[in-house]
Amino acid sequence: MARRLTFQQAINEALDQEMARDESVIVMGEDVAGGQGTEGEMDAWGGVLGVTKGLYAKHGDRVMDTPISESAFIGAAIGAATSGLRPVVELMFNDFLGVCFDQIFNQAAKFRYMFGGKAETPVVIRTMIGSGFRAAAQHSQSLYSIFTHIPGLKCVVPSTPYDAKGLLIEAIRDNDPVIFFEHKKLYPLEGEVPQELYTIPFGEAEVVREGDDVTIITLAEMVHESLKAAETMAKDGVECEVIDLRTTSPLDEETLLDSVASTGRVVVVDEANPRCSIATDISALIVQNAFDKLKAPIRMVTAPHTPVPFADNLEDLYKPNAEKIASAVREVSEYKAWKATASTS
Amino acid sequence: MESDSIHKLTMPKWGLSMTHGKIIEWLVPEGAEVSAGAEVLEVETEKITGCVESSTGGTLRRQVAKLDQDVPIGGLLAVVADPSVSDNEIDRFVEGFVLEESCDESAADDIAPEFVEVGGRRLRYLKQGEGGQPVVLIHGFTGSLDNWLFNHAALAQQRTVYALDLPGHGQSSKDVGDGSLDMLIGALQDWLDELSLSRVHLVGHSLGGAVALGVALRSPDRVRSCTLIASAALGPEIDADYIDGVVEANRRKQLKPFLERLFADPSRVTRQLVDDLLKFKRVDGVPDALRKLSKNFVANGKQVSVFRSELDQLQSPTQAIWGEEDQIIPASHGAGLPDLISVELLANCGHMVQMEAAREVNQLVLSFLEKAE
């Protein structure tokens, strides 16, 4: 019987088991070992939300606390990766990645290419995304689209405990830089997770619900909101196919286009801001490759083009939810093309 | 709660992870006669769809569970009673029904799988039932002890029944050595030794049938009887394309058509069944183990090991059970076996006959065991 673990425990177990399997795997970041008020010997904190708790006691100095200097320790991790280690470096909130853009965009992402394929950078950067925590504009963004834009980076955005473990192990074993985005709202989510080590290949989207009427394409926490919306719509006789991207780079175009070919109606759901986003990227992909299959305009359910508000009521308004998704599904499912309308009037 | 005249049908527990089941179809209308063992309704679990049977004969007086309703294990599905029982009494019975949750939980705790270290490998097994002469269930290629979800508990009502995960399978160690049938046979013998099971009834499905046969031929003193279900090693033919397919396919879409060949009714292949195999194939060591095993199992489109010429050396009672529509290993392998081997063919069943016709297979195995004892 597969055990039930939380999303957070699944990540911890992936790190623990990979560290036990492969000595070159190290963990670095702010407070990942000792943490607040200790000198790194007490294994007190395990990162800001305790994801790496317990690793220091088991793996000792391979779990390293770093100073509060993101540009320095991300650079150090990338350097360590080029010289034989497999660092998994935690950068608390993805909102802070801005201070180490050069190390990520221009160094790690380019090494393989600039050195004629002779350099590998097997680094994993773990970082938290997501709104809904009343944590205001600088701790609540979902910035995966920025990293998806850069060739040379792989971007992973899991939505379940099972996927989190399998994708993180795949990320650690991958020889390219991987940014691993963890939605903090998912940390307490429970699900069945095998004890054994396993990997989930990048670039394989998961069809989490099958349906013939409308395709909902989504990722991270919005997978769960989309499933709720699909449940609601099923009561009205509209069957949604819900696709979880799992990785935004590489992107599983085939699964998306196959589904669109069978439904012809698409809603893309993304918690991030709408411009130059995963939602626009997917929409463009579909329009370019499956325009003749579409029976209705694509609807995007996203946050508005504003920072994440701090006020409770505004943040609730900002964030996509099952209700908004269901209403978009209803709209595309009821849409009739002009010709059809004309012929009936 | 159950009186002599009123009988309840409750949600069964099929397999370890089942917690509830959904009512798909009523096969018997209210007011109709049912005989003991008749299939009354179809239930879908996360894993698979199965039929719930009446444990007794009588009139189906009440369909308590509604279509599409999710019912927990032990929950009331239907009431069977004699027509002489009044509707009021049936109403009172239904209203008074209490789900025995605590009982279910303790039962679930009792049947947790165990692990044992044998020959450097960790093997998982599940024991159900007590007493009698022990039975061991051996699954087939890419299977696991979960393949017996409709059989294990039913067979274990009056005896100890073990189901194990062969090396490379389920949650057992993924080290399969040279991947040979000899390795699997040796591993089963070592496991029997480790559990001090000196003589057992073996029930093997597909490749597991070949393993059972191997033990019966090599160590006849260990085997009381042998039941071979859609067994390998009784002839050279096999759907080699299926074997390659399940080894190499890594997406749900690719895998599903192969799994559909396992059943006469392809709609038996649920999403969860495909997912479970996909998840298994992602575990470290599994792809290598399956490749090694498959090379030793099937070469040039034929089964590598065929024991047909040695069957007259079998010393223990042996029976073969086949689904007539088996697409993986043809049911014709059940023809022309030595007279000592009884052969049962089941209509409208494919390779997973122990799932598709669980009730019939369970009855065949139980009555065969009784005779063999």
Helix, strand, coil % in chain A, rounded to nearest 5: 40, 20, 40
Q: B282 vs A200: CB contact, 8 Å cut-off?
A: yes
pLDDT (tens digit per residue) in A66-98: 999 999 999 999 999 999 999 999 999 999 999
Q: B284 vs A198: CB contact, 8 Å cut-off?
A: yes
Any domain includes B351: yes
Q: Are residues B127 and B101 in the same domain?
A: no
Domain boundary among B69, B85, B107: B107
Identify the structural domains of chain A with CATH numbers, from first to last. 3-193 (3.40.50.970), 206-340 (3.40.50.920)
Q: Are residues B199 and B304 in the same domain?
A: yes
Domain boundary among B59, B78, B107: B107
Structure tokens at B89: 């009494």
Q: A2 vs B271: CB contact, 8 Å cut-off?
A: no
Residues B257, B254: Cα–Cα separation, whole Å: 7
Question: Residue A1: pLDDT above 60?
Answer: no
B279 to chain A: closest CA residue: A198
Total beta-carbon pairs less than 8 A apart between chain A and chain B: 29
Q: In A, which residues are within 8 Å of B16 by CB distance?
A: 1
**Is the CB of residue B85 less than 8 Å from the CB of residue B310?**
no
| Amino acid identity for residue B284 in this structure | D
Number of domains chain B contains: 2
CA Rg value for chain B: 21
Q: Are residues B131 and B272 in the same domain?
A: yes
Any domain includes B1: no
Residue to test with chain B: of A168, A198, A227, A235, most B Cβ within 10 A: A198
Q: Are residues B47 and B122 in the same domain?
A: no
pLDDT above 70: percentage of residues in chain B = 95
The DSSP secondary structure of B122-138, one letter per residue, reads EEEEEEE--SSS-EEEE
Active site residue A305: no
Looking at per-residue pLDDT, the higher value among B8 and B188 belongs to B188
Q: Which contiguous run of DSSP H or E holds residue B25?
A: strand B20-26
- Whether residue A239 lies within 8 A of chain B, CB to CB, comes out as no
CATH of the domain at B55: 2.40.50.100
Q: Are residues B159 and B199 in the same domain?
A: yes
Of residues A196, A200, A201, nearest to B284 (C-beta): A196
**Is the CB of residue A21 less than 8 Å from the CB of residue A61?**
no
Q: Tell me what pLDDT residue B104 has.
A: 47
Residues A268, A298: Cα–Cα separation, whole Å: 8
Structure tokens at A290: 């499956």
Q: In A, which residues are within 8 Å of B279 by CB distance?
A: 162, 194, 198
Smallest CA–CA distance, residue A232 to chain B, in Å, is 16
Look up the pTM and report it.
0.86
Q: Are residues B74 and B149 in the same domain?
A: no
Any domain includes B244: yes
Q: A197 vs B283: CB contact, 8 Å cut-off?
A: yes
Q: Tell me what pLDDT residue B3 has.
A: 59
Q: Are residues B84 and B186 in the same domain?
A: no
Question: B22 φ, ψ to 5°?
Answer: -110, 135
Q: Tell me what pLDDT residue A345 has.
A: 43
Q: Are residues B155 and B300 in the same domain?
A: yes
- Whether residue B284 lies within 8 A of chain A, CB to CB, comes out as yes
Structure tokens at A71: 């540009």
Query: Among the options A59, A139, A183, A224, which is catalytic?
Result: A139
A252 to chain B: closest CA residue: B251
A188-203: burial string, b at 16+ Cβ within 10 Å, e else = ebebebbebbbbbebb
What's the mean pLDDT when you consider all of chain A?
93
CATH of the domain at B293: 3.40.50.1820
Reported residue count of chain A is 345
pLDDT (tens digit per residue) in A296-337: 999 999 999 999 999 999 999 999 999 999 999 999 999 987
* ipTM value greater than 0.90: no
Domain membership of residue B317 as a residue range? 116-372
All residues at 6 or more sequence positions from B131 whose CB lies less than 8 Å from its CB, including other chains: B158, B159, B160
- Whether residue B252 lies within 8 A of chain A, CB to CB, comes out as yes
Q: Are residues B197 and B71 in the same domain?
A: no
Q: Are residues B83 and B127 in the same domain?
A: no
pLDDT (tens digit per residue) in B153-210: 999 998 999 999 999 999 999 999 999 999 999 999 999 999 999 999 999 999 999 9
Looking at per-residue pLDDT, the higher value among B139 and B269 belongs to B139
Any domain includes B63: yes
Residues A254, A262: Cα–Cα separation, whole Å: 13
Domain boundary among B55, B86, B107: B107
Question: Residue B4: pLDDT above 90?
Answer: no
Q: Tell me what pLDDT residue B48 has.
A: 74
Smallest CA–CA distance, residue A60 to chain B, in Å, is 25
Q: A196 vs B271: CB contact, 8 Å cut-off?
A: no
pLDDT (tens digit per residue) in A235-261: 999 999 999 999 999 999 999 999 999
Structure tokens at A156: 């992973």
Q: Which residues pair with B320 in a beta bridge?
A: B228, B343
Q: Are residues B151 and B241 in the same domain?
A: yes
pLDDT (tens digit per residue) in B217-244: 999 999 999 999 999 999 999 999 999 9
**Is the CB of residue B10 less than 8 Å from the CB of residue B55?**
no
Question: Residue B54: pLDDT above 90?
Answer: no
Any domain includes B64: yes
Distances (CA, A) of B37 to B43, B51, B235, B285, B353: 16, 10, 34, 42, 17
Any domain includes B98: yes
pLDDT (tens digit per residue) in A176-216: 999 999 999 999 999 999 999 999 999 999 999 999 999 99
Q: Are residues B152 and B209 in the same domain?
A: yes
pLDDT (tens digit per residue) in A130-186: 999 899 999 999 999 999 999 999 999 999 999 999 999 999 999 999 999 999 999
Any domain includes B307: yes
B113 to chain A: closest CA residue: A1
Band of pLDDT at residue B96, cut at 50, 70 and 90: confident
**Is the CB of residue A48 less than 8 Å from the CB of residue A92?**
yes
Per DSSP (E only), the strands in B38-160 are 39-44, 49-53, 58-63, 70-72, 76-81, 114-118, 121-128, 135-138
